[in-house]
Amino acid sequence: MAEILQVTPECDLQKIFDEAPDKSEIRLAPGVYRQKTVIRKPGIKLIGAGMDKTVLVWDDYALKLDEQGREYNTFKTWTLAICADNVHMENLAIVNDALTPEIKGQEVALSVIGDQFTMENCLLRSTQDTLFLGPLPDDLIVRYTGFHAPELLKGGHMRQRFTNCRIEGTVDFIFGCGDTHFENCEICSLNDARNIGYVAAPAHSLEQQEGFLFRNCRFTCEEGVAPGSIYLARPWRDYGLSTFENCSYGPHISPLGFDKWNDTNRDQTARFRETPAAPGRVDWANIR
């Protein structure tokens, strides 16, 4: 039988995560846990008292300098990093409250570098790059070897599932290479001083055939987001793959639907699909 651990905001979460036996169930009491932590034990269940009651929060950002004077860059900014397989989370919120990404750069709330991750009834909130779904693209694993901890650079096939969650952000706020399903989630675009936003930034390899799947999701926005200013996806790497099935969209979503990413030719390789396809989408979507 799995061990059940009861935790309050006064506890040292990192110590609890490190010392908990594999497959432990960790129950978080209501409150704000302002701590930056990593889960390294497989099979952990992390259960809160509700997404409006149990909040894990930190405020790192990409342009912050570490103790050696180097910028954090995106992949050190998480509030919580999952570096183990078969982790499950429910009924809590994970927040990066650094804010002003146009000044500070990317601000990750949750980073998942693990297989068979599941999350239910949770809130993820940040601005740019809220949710990272591992693994990293191969070229970045090579680039960051020796800079990031090896546990953050793990490769392999990683699958994740989010059910009945709310995910908030501004630019590329769901990104990575995971084969990830979003079921019945609310995807909320926040107001950004840049007046343009992108929901998904997939970086899948050509060999991957699942990618990001949004099924029965609602794409909403907070007050002040301009109509037509948000794109559903843009490819972070050439063969980024995102599928949208039976989703509903607010007026903030651009009629074009998708962006090819700056001055690239990724409109020739990206794999973006929508069922049913909305009229007026870019002509290179739904064809591969």
> Per the structure block, which two tokens stand in for 41?
């034990």
Q: How confident is the model at residue 286 (pLDDT cuts 50, 70, 90)?
A: confident
Q: Across the chain, what does the average pLDDT equal?
A: 96
- pLDDT given for residue 3 in this prediction: 86
Q: Please give the average per-residue pLDDT across 246-255, as a whole number.
A: 97
d(CA 18, CA 215): 35
Helix (H, G, I), strand (E, B) or coil at 165: coil
Q: How confident is the model at residue 287 (pLDDT cuts 50, 70, 90)?
A: confident
Res. 2: pLDDT tops 80: no
- pLDDT given for residue 273 in this prediction: 96
Question: Which of 125, 105, 108, 110 is closest to 62 using CA atoms?
Answer: 105
**Checking DSSP bridges between strand 248-249 and strand 218-221, what pairing results, if any?**
parallel
CB 58 within 8 A of CB 38: no
**The model scores a pTM over 0.95:** yes
- pLDDT given for residue 1 in this prediction: 62
The model's pLDDT over 152-173, given as tens digits with 9 standing for 90+, comes to: 999 999 999 999 999 999 999 9
In the chain, what are the domains?
34-275 (2.160.20.10)
What is the CA angle 94-96-100, rounded to 5?
A: 150
Res. 135: pLDDT tops 70: yes
The model's pLDDT over 266-275, given as tens digits with 9 standing for 90+, comes to: 999 999 999 9
Q: Please give the average per-residue pLDDT across 58-74, as a whole number.
A: 95
Q: Kindly give, in sequence order, each residue whose CB lies less than 8 Å from that of residue 156, ignoring residues fewer than 6 positions away.
A: 115, 135
Q: Please give the average per-residue pLDDT across 133-148, as a whole number.
A: 95
d(CA 57, CA 68): 24
Q: Please give the average per-residue pLDDT across 55-68, as a whole number.
A: 96
Percent of the chain with pLDDT over 70: 100
The model's pLDDT over 95-121, given as tens digits with 9 standing for 90+, comes to: 999 999 999 999 999 999 999 999 999
Q: Please give the average per-residue pLDDT across 120-147, as a whole number.
A: 97
Beta strands in 29-73 (DSSP E): 31-34, 37-39, 45-47, 54-58
CB 129 within 8 A of CB 175: yes
d(CA 81, CA 37): 7
- pLDDT given for residue 288 in this prediction: 72
The model's pLDDT over 189-218, given as tens digits with 9 standing for 90+, comes to: 999 888 899 999 999 999 999 999 999 999
